[in-house]
Structure formats: C-alpha cells, structure tokens
C-alpha cells in the first residue's frame, strides 16, 4: 500500500512537471497551432534569432535558427548555446493546409548523456479540435499520453496526462470568461484536491484596454514590462528590448534581435 502511495505521489510530480515544464497544459493547447509574430507579406522563410537574458548577476545568450512555412508556422528550430553549439532541434510536420501540426520531433545533444530524441503526435477530431497528444521515445515506445476535452468553441476545458501504462497523473481544468478574454486554470490531483490555480489571457490577438500598443499593433507597455522595437522595411520587428518595471525602476530584462530572410529577396 505504501509503495502504491509513493508511486501515485511520484506520478503526480511527473504530471506537475509536464504541466509546468513540458508544455502539456491548457495554455499550450490554446496556443498549439498559433503562428510566429510576422506580417503577412512578403513571405518569411528563415529567421536567425539571438536572445540575451539579463538578470542582476549575469547575462546569458542563445541563438535560434528557424525555418518558416507559408502560414508563419515553424518547420524547424535549431537552438544553440553561448558557444555556438547545437543543443536542441525541433522539427514539425503539418497537414496539407500548413496550419495543423501532425507531429513534432525534439532532438537533444547532452554533454554527458549524449543524443536523445522524442516525438509528439497530435490528433484532431472531426471538428478540427485539438484532442490528444501521444509521446514516443526514440525507440518508438509510448511513454506519455495527453487527452484534451474541449467546449463547443473548441477551447480546452480538461486536460489529463497519463503514463505509458495508462496510469493517470492528475488533471487540469479550465473556465473561460469570454467577455473579459480570460481563462482560469486549476491543477487537480487524483483525489480531487485543487493543487494550484492561475488566470491568464485567453486570446493574445485581442488587445487589452489596460495595455499600450504602437502603430504596428505591438505591445509597448503592460503592468510589469515595457517594450521597444526596431523594424525592417516590411514592418517586421528586428530588435525588441524588454524592460522589467520594478517600483520606479525600469531594468533591462531581455534583448532579442532577428535577421529575417524573405522569399522575394
């Protein structure tokens, strides 16, 4: 009995990790098929992105090389560390529309453990609603499944994560306040206890009245952050500086630069 309790606690810990770190949660389901932050014309085919993360003690830098399809969705994304070494690669496959992703492969290169990979397969119902994720390791063995229940609008209201043998970790549920464009999510254990609760924006494309935006529609000020942009001739931003507001101070938080390659160039 004690061994079973320990296993259940362990599985729920894995569920929390899945919810918080692996991107298998209500928010990721809502954003699952969203595209990159790009203008419609001309078509972008490649982005080289450099991100500098700034904190009180140090700064870290990473570089991403992103190939883009005609619908502004990522085809491949290579992630490099500060030394220019490839650490992670994501590859996506889409349906004939280029909008719905069918699977995503993640490859990692570890200094000690070496190479590893896993593939997530995505499933939709007859309405086109996103309903399931099946994760397989590099040997093709299923090690995790995520089931998603949607409301009549196609928005996820329940997400359940199970390990390969079908044992449930727990679940996450969501309630929507459509007039205010918000969603409240709750993580619940197998005994029905609410472990955590959070609220956030349902649709990021809808402009909030409490935020400020520039002439391009890009966010320039929220309650905790301010943003500065530099744009290319096609009105895509090529540099974004994020400042974190702490009291009456505005501190550097993140600097992102993008080299964008267009199909017509």
Nearest in space to 220 (alpha carbons), one of 229, 230, 207, 233: 229
Q: What phi-psi label fits residue 241: left (phi over 0), alpha (psi between -120 and 50 degrees) or beta? A: beta
pLDDT of residue 16: 52
Q: Distance (Å, rounded) from C-alpha 39 to C-alpha 107?
A: 29
pLDDT of residue 6: 46
> Cα angle vertex 65, ends 138, 263, to 5°?
120
**Residue 191 DSSP SS3:** coil
pLDDT of residue 163: 83
pTM score, two decimals? 0.85
Q: Which helix (H) or strand (E) holds 30?
A: helix 26-30
Strand pairing partners for 116? 108
pLDDT of residue 23: 57
- Give the pLDDT confidence of 138-170 residue by residue, as tens digits: 999 999 999 999 999 999 999 998 887 777 777
Q: Distance (Å, rounded) from C-alpha 86 to C-alpha 92?
A: 18
Q: Distance (Å, rounded) from C-alpha 194 to C-alpha 165?
A: 25
pLDDT of residue 265: 66
Q: Show Cβ contacts of residue 145 under 8 Å, excluding neighbours closer than 6 positions.
A: 132, 133, 134, 135, 161, 162, 164
pLDDT of residue 7: 47
- Give the pLDDT confidence of 162-214 residue by residue, as tens digits: 887 777 777 999 999 999 999 999 999 888 889 889 999 999 888 888 899 99
Report whether 262 contacts 243 (CB < 8 A).
Answer: no
Running along the chain, 265 residues long, what does each successive block of 10 average in pLDDT?
Answer: 48 50 78 91 96 88 96 96 93 94 95 90 95 95 94 96 79 95 92 89 88 94 94 97 92 96 87
Report whether 130 contacts 121 (CB < 8 A).
Answer: no
């Amino acid at each position: 009995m004690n061994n079973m309790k320990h296993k259940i606690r362990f599985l729920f810990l894995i569920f929390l990790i899945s919810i918080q770190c692996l991107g298998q949660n209500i928010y990721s389901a809502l954003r699952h098929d969203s595209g990159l932050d790009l203008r419609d014309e001309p078509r972008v085919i490649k982005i080289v992105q450099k991100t500098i993360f700034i904190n009180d003690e140090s700064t870290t830098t990473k570089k991403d090389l992103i190939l883009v399809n005609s619908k502004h969705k990522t085809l491949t994304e290579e992630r490099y560390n500060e030394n220019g070494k490839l650490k992670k690669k994501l590859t996506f496959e889409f349906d004939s529309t280029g909008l719905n992703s069918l699977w995503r492969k993640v490859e990692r290169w570890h200094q000690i453990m070496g190479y590893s990979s896993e593939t997530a397969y995505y499933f939709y119902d007859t309405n086109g609603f996103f309903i399931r994720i099946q994760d397989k390791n590099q040997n093709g063995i299923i090690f995790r499944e995520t089931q998603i229940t949607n409301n009549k609008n196609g928005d996820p209201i329940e997400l359940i994560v199970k390990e390969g043998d079908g044992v449930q970790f727990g679940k996450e549920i969501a309630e929507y306040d459509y007039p205010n464009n918000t969603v409240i999510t709750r993580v619940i254990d197998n005994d029905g206890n609410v472990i955590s609760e959070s609220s956030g924006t349902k649709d990021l494309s809808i402009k909030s009245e409490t935020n400020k935006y520039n002439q391009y529609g890009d966010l320039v000020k929220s309650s905790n952050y301010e943003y500065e942009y530099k744009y290319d001739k096609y009105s895509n931003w090529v540099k974004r500086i994020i400042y974190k507001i702490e009291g009456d101070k505005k501190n550097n938080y993140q600097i992102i630069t993008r080299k964008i390659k267009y199909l017509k160039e």
